[in-house]
Amino acid sequence: MTYFCVDCEASGPVPPLFNLLSIGATVVRQRNDRHVLGESFYAELKPIFPGFDPGAMAVCGLDAERLRREGQEPREALDRLARFVREQNEGSSDNPCFVGHNAVFDWSHIAYYYAHFGLANPFGYKGLDTKSLAMGRLGISWRDTSKENLETLLALPPQDPAQIHRADYDARYQALILQALLDKRA
């Protein structure tokens, strides 16, 4: 199975009222009886919708004007992501597995953008949520599934506060969470 830990930064909670601004993805694969982190992907996108929630923009730290000038056209970024997924999943008999930490947020933005541009979503309609997986594997409540709490519970390296909410950094950290949860021995 090839897992793709995906993180998105957006200008608000739901598409198409708000914009998908950046996408990060990190591959996790099984090797023998353990899971290993693989290649990563990153793209920043030009905004195409009018919505910009000030709170969401403060959290992600991305500058809308800079993205209008320098961001990649969304369709091109989605094509790049689909190509990355195909290449990284090559040789696998399984479909690529979308993984998110609060997957409903990230998957909804990715799925909407693929549909908006008439492109096939390389992940399909299924996904794995690491918050839910942590609840089951660790026997904890939903409120205890934050990355900060999982960092302690899973003995992960500390998060870099300067990089939190950068989609590629968050995707890679979420890959560490997935790896630890999948490799956890009962």
Contacts of 101 (CB under 8 A, 6+ apart): 5, 7, 129, 130, 131, 147, 170, 174, 177
* Cβ-based burial of 109 (10 A; exposed 0-12, middle 13-18, buried ≥19): buried
User: 165 catalytic, yes or no?
Assistant: yes
From the candidates 35, 101, 116, 165, give the one annotated as an active-site residue: 165
Q: Minimal CA–CA distance to 23: which of 75, 66, 69?
A: 75
Beta-strand ranges (E) seen in the chain are 2-10, 20-31, 34-44, 97-100, 127-129
Q: Which two tokens stand for residue 178?
A: 């997935």
Question: From CA 158, how far away is CA 6, in angstroms rounded?
Answer: 20
Provide the annotated active-site residues.
Answer: 165
